[in-house]
Amino acid sequence: MRRFVPIVLTATVLLAGCQGGGGGDTTTSGAAFDPKTCQGGTLTVLNQGGITHLDPARLYTSGGGNIPSLLFRTLTTRNRQPGEAGAKAAPDLATDLGTPSDGAKTWTYHLRDGIQFEDGTPITAADVKYGIERSFAPELPGGAPYLRDWLDGAASYQGPYKQPEGIKAIETPDDKTIIFKLSKPEGDFPYLATATQFAPVPKAKDSGTEYEKHPISSGPYQVESYEPKKSLVLVRNTHWSQSVDELRYACPDRIEVTSGLDSAVINQRLVTGAGGDANAVTTDAVVGPEQLAQLGTGSELDKRVTRGEFPSTTYLAFNTKKAPFDNPKVREALSYAINRTSVVNALGGSAVVGPSTTFLPPQKALGYQAYDHFPAGDTGNPDKAKQVLAEAGLSNLSIDLAYENDDSEGIGPKVASAIQEAFKQAGVTVKLNAIDAATYRDVTGKPATQPGLALATWGADWPSGGPFLIPIFDGRQIITAGGNFNLAQYNDPAVNTEIDAINALTDPAAAAARWGALDAKLGALALVLPLTHEKDVYLVGKNVKNAYADGWRGQLDISRISVK
Amino acid sequence: MTTAPPAPPVPSRALAALRRDRGFVTGAVIAGLMVLVALTAPLLAALAGQDYTTYHDTLLDSARGGVPIGGFGGISGEHWLGVEPGTGRDLFARLVYGAQVSVGVAVAATFLEVLLGVTVGVAAGLGGRWLDSGLSRVIDLVLSVPVLVMAISLLAIVPQDWPRPVLLAAVIAVLGWGGTARLSRGETLSLRTRDYVAAAQVAGAPWWRVARREILPGLTAPILTYAALLLPTNMVVEAGLSFLGVGVRPPTPSWGQMLSTATTWFRADPFYVFLPALMLFLALLAFVLVANGLRRALDPRQRELTR
């Protein structure tokens, strides 16, 4: 569940976190798969990260998440398909992706017929509204922060426990209709409506912080037992049927999630596939070097692999307010000097990461446009870097590089050492500044304490260029109190205006083209030094069928796999 | 006013016994080689034409997670022991530079422990009742501290720009001098009852002269033996700390750090695990052999028997 509850730190995150979409390809074992006859068996999920909260208000997911999506249906959800088709939103509880009006400032949804909670009560628009209002309660923190920013006049709403009158910007004229009034045009609203905050919650069953012990399901499964961070057992919800939900196949009769396992252990168990492990998958343990070495083309193991790409970029963040990075020549020289091959190897090799010269990862849905403004080749161009530095009259440059003291997030000592060595070739001395992983984002996210040069990662909350570029380059998003992601501290009114203009577009394709162009334009300023983008390679158990990575997150979608 | 001459530090009889002890000689030769390797690391690396920081990306199979291309971890005429998976750094250079940290830290820590332990131990042994019980409680305290846990916390809080190897030696020594101190105190207590010590004290020799002239020579044998046993222990502690990631900082190599990186590769590139493990094993074996030989030759009880 790397992306499922990843952000304990997001209490301070204002816009975006770490979730989003991508392309992927299929690995389907066996003959033609029929969702009508796939039912039966017990699926085991072996994970590293535990589910700390199971409350739909508190989950921070991409496209509804993997396991949460089995319990919570939302207004829209990700279109559960591989490749580009999967990077689109699809109607879930709603009949369509929503009707925009008033220049994308008003969004209207109608609920489909026949939808019920696990106790048989019909799901109404008021339940959806109540679910959203709960996510504003300070007692239930952790969800994506967008709604507070987008909904008109909701910025200071304190949740239904303190303010039972609710949010005025959400209207429910009847049981089937729900209308959202926004403070500014937001063409991406159908993407946001995939978040678990858009799951219905019956007010009568709401027990505040206790609700997560047994959240009322609207999806194909319901909770049998749940122990935070350790285990979760799901059984069928008899009030759900395929006739009201075409997207989830819900093949296994029972799903058992075990968390807190070591990545190497998980992958070894999947390889061996003894006993129940033959019916096992993982949603957060990417294969390690041991398995990669065995993944020869055509090998038995190779057939049990799902490959996808979660849109995420690892990059070096320049603080352009701090010397020497206020000098564009320094940023350009370092961009020429970087050796992306050694960074790729430090992160696990070309099977799990790819080199990036653009800030947007290579997904069409995000508007990716190829560019390489400061060609460094595969292994860096130290001569060109030296030349740029010499032209700027700089020699014997010595800089500090901040990174996490732990490699688990991919911005740790291994990558830092590779960068140190690459810059050394260009005559730049790098002093390593390891920061405790637990406080890393606090230090880098506060302009007062932000180092001049820091390793950073960014992932999209949904497959669109907006959540990828806005927090990083919108000058109005510079947050001095902490939780800042505009690490370049770049503020150009022209760029801000362009961002507003793209936000008003409701056609994803038109928006994507302009996000891509904006990224290419910003890239020429060398505000960030893109290093790599992520690829996901997951193993599944011997007996697992129809396992593929969906195009939204590049991860295998539990709602469609079978162990029969 | 006659004082019996104290036993010489290492009697010639013991030296002869050591020379006949095959275990000791083997250990001493290996240990000597290790120290030599540590001292000449830059020279050896230069001889191989390599250094321990340069990345060799072309020698790695990136698609397979970054394992070295070729057998036995990518051994070639240029890279005598192959390259490190994931980075392509030369393993021969890293191994010999690693010796600097592993051997250097262990030797420095042992030296500091002996210095601190003997000082406190002798002071406690010669001092009055109050000084003795006071210092003994301090020794008890030091002995009761769990070294690894305490070292991890100490190393985690110091600023990063402090020189790590020096710091490692200091931390290991500060947490590990208790044994030497207790041993020195016990030996001093037994030595001070000897006639020649009593005579020196009656003659009005100041305490520091008594300590230096009468007590220390008698302590040499047991402390030397004990130090030889401390050395491998300290090497293991350093390796453990580096293994846990609180040891030396990248890109400085140490055997413990190499072992730590190797754990993720032990199936894909078993040769990488083998190298630092073998070096640690050899070093420990050598120092333990030396210590055992010393103990056999210098143990007071055995010396009494041979007299």
B51 touches chain A (CB under 8 A): no
pLDDT at A74: 97
Round to whole Å and give the CA distance between A239 and B256. 57
B160 touches chain A (CB under 8 A): yes
* R_g (Cα) of chain B, nearest Å: 23
pLDDT at B8: 53
Three state DSSP letters for chain B: CCCCCCCCCCCHHHHHHHHHCHHHHHHHHHHHHHHHHHHCHHHHHHHHCCCCCCCCHHHEEHHHCCEECCHHHHCCCCCCCCECCCCCCEHHHHHHHHHHHHHHHHHHHHHHHHHHHHHHHHHHHHCCHHHHHHHHHHHHHHHHCCHHHHHHHHHHHCCCCCCHHHHHHHHHHHHHCHHHHHHHHHHHHHHCCCHHHHHHHHCCCCHHHHHHHHHHHHHHHHHHHHHHHHHHHHHHHHHHHHHCCCCCCCCCCCHHHHHHHHHHHCCCCHHHHHHHHHHHHHHHHHHHHHHHHHHHHHCHHHHHHHC
Which candidate in A342, A425, A431 is best for mutational testing of the B interface (most B CBs within 10 A)? A342
B53 touches chain A (CB under 8 A): yes
- In this prediction, residues B183-208 reach a mean pLDDT of 88
Q: Which residue of B has its CA nearest to A342?
A: B57
> A346 and B54: CB-CB below 8 Å?
no
Q: Which residue from B239, B237, B230 is spatially nearest to B288, judged by alpha carbons?
A: B230
Give residue B148's pLDDT band: very low, low, confident or very high (50, 70, 90). Answer: confident
- In this prediction, residues A493-507 reach a mean pLDDT of 94
- In this prediction, residues A494-502 reach a mean pLDDT of 95
pLDDT over threshold 50, residue A3: no
B87 touches chain A (CB under 8 A): yes
Return mean pLDDT, chain B: 86
- In this prediction, residues A226-254 reach a mean pLDDT of 94
Round to whole Å and give the CA distance between A370 and A422. 23
pLDDT over threshold 60, residue B303: no
Q: Which residues of A touch B87 (CB under 8 A)?
A: 342, 345-346, 414, 417-418
User: Position of tokens 């061996």?
Assistant: A272
Round to whole Å and give the CA distance between A559 and A66. 8
pLDDT tens digits, residue range B257-289?
A: 898 888 888 888 888 999 999 999 999 999 989
Which candidate in B50, B59, B64, B272 is best for mutational testing of the A interface (most A CBs within 10 A)? B64
pLDDT over threshold 60, residue B4: no
SS3 A457: strand
> A292 and B64: CB-CB below 8 Å?
yes
CB B57 within 8 A of CB B88: yes
A377 touches chain B (CB under 8 A): no
- In this prediction, residues A491-496 reach a mean pLDDT of 95
Scan residues 224-283 of A and list those with Cβ closer than 8 Å to B. 264
pLDDT at A104: 92
Burial class (CB in 10 A: 0-12, 13-18, 19+), B137: exposed
A313: CB partners within 8 A, 6+ apart: A356, A359, A360, A361, A457, A458, A459, A468, A530, A531, A532, A533, A534
Give residue B128's pLDDT band: very low, low, confident or very high (50, 70, 90). Answer: confident
B49 touches chain A (CB under 8 A): no
SS3 A232: strand
Question: Which amino acid, one-letter code, is at B106?
Answer: A
pLDDT at A281: 95
Least confidently predicted of A63-67, A122-126, A131-135, A517-521: A63-67
Q: Which residue of B has its CA nearest to A347?
A: B86
Give residue B171's pLDDT band: very low, low, confident or very high (50, 70, 90). Answer: very high
pLDDT at B7: 53
pLDDT at B89: 93
Return mean pLDDT, chain A: 89
Q: Which residues of A touch B245 (CB under 8 A)?
A: 405
User: Position of tokens 């996510």?
Assistant: A135
A418 touches chain B (CB under 8 A): yes
Q: Which residues of A touch B60 (CB under 8 A)?
A: 345, 349
Q: Which of B57, B250, B268 sits opposite A290 (nearest CB)?
A: B268
pLDDT at A124: 96
Q: Which residues of A touch B68 (CB under 8 A)?
A: none
Shortest Cα distance from A262 to chain B (angstroms)?
Answer: 12
Which candidate in A287, A292, A411, A433 is best for mutational testing of the B interface (most B CBs within 10 A)? A292
Q: Which residues of A touch B161 (CB under 8 A)?
A: 431
- In this prediction, residues A483-488 reach a mean pLDDT of 89
Neighbours of B2 (CB within 10 A): 7
Give residue B9's pLDDT band: very low, low, confident or very high (50, 70, 90). Answer: low
Pairwise pLDDT comparison (A184 vs A300), residue with the higher score: A184
- In this prediction, residues A185-209 reach a mean pLDDT of 95
Pairwise pLDDT comparison (B73 vs A211), residue with the higher score: A211
Give residue B84's pLDDT band: very low, low, confident or very high (50, 70, 90). Answer: very high
pLDDT tens digits, residue range A82-125?
A: 888 889 999 999 999 999 999 999 999 999 999 999 999 999 99
Q: Which residues of B touch A424 (CB under 8 A)?
A: 53
Q: How does strand A231-236 pair with strand A221-227?
A: antiparallel
> B160 and A350: CB-CB below 8 Å?
no
A532 touches chain B (CB under 8 A): no
B218 touches chain A (CB under 8 A): no
**Residue A457 bridge partners (DSSP):** A314
A286 touches chain B (CB under 8 A): no
Q: Which residue of B has its CA nearest to A420?
A: B251
B300 touches chain A (CB under 8 A): no
> B61 and A349: CB-CB below 8 Å?
yes
Q: Which residues of B touch A349 (CB under 8 A)?
A: 60-66, 86
Least confidently predicted of A136-150, B4-18, B119-133, B170-184: B4-18
- In this prediction, residues A552-564 reach a mean pLDDT of 90
- In this prediction, residues A145-171 reach a mean pLDDT of 92
Give residue A31's pLDDT band: very low, low, confident or very high (50, 70, 90). Answer: low
CB A218 within 8 A of CB A127: no
Round to whole Å and give the CA distance between A222 and A70. 8
Conformational region of residue A482, where left means phi above 0, alpha means psi within -120 to 50, and beta covers everything else: left
- In this prediction, residues A481-504 reach a mean pLDDT of 92
> B55 and A339: CB-CB below 8 Å?
yes
Order of strands across the sheet with A99-101?
A99-101, A106-110, A177-181, A170-174
CB A64 within 8 A of CB A143: no
pLDDT at A20: 34
pLDDT at A477: 82
**Residue A556 bridge partners (DSSP):** A549
A432 touches chain B (CB under 8 A): yes
pLDDT at A18: 36
% of chain B residues with pLDDT over 70: 93
pLDDT at A165: 94
SS3 A314: strand
pLDDT over threshold 70, residue B1: no
Neighbours of A99 (CB within 10 A): 12
Token pair belonging to B274: 């083998």
- In this prediction, residues B27-33 reach a mean pLDDT of 94
A295 touches chain B (CB under 8 A): yes
Give residue B296's pLDDT band: very low, low, confident or very high (50, 70, 90). Answer: confident
> A346 and B86: CB-CB below 8 Å?
yes
A-to-B residue pairs, Cβ atoms closer than 8 angstroms? 95
Give residue B14's pLDDT band: very low, low, confident or very high (50, 70, 90). Answer: confident
pLDDT over threshold 90, residue A212: yes
CB A305 within 8 A of CB A538: yes
Q: Which residue from A63, A67, A82, A79 is spatially nearest to A25, judged by alpha carbons?
A: A82
> B65 and A349: CB-CB below 8 Å?
yes
Which candidate in B50, B53, B55, B60 is best for mutational testing of the A interface (most A CBs within 10 A)? B55
pLDDT over threshold 70, residue A219: yes
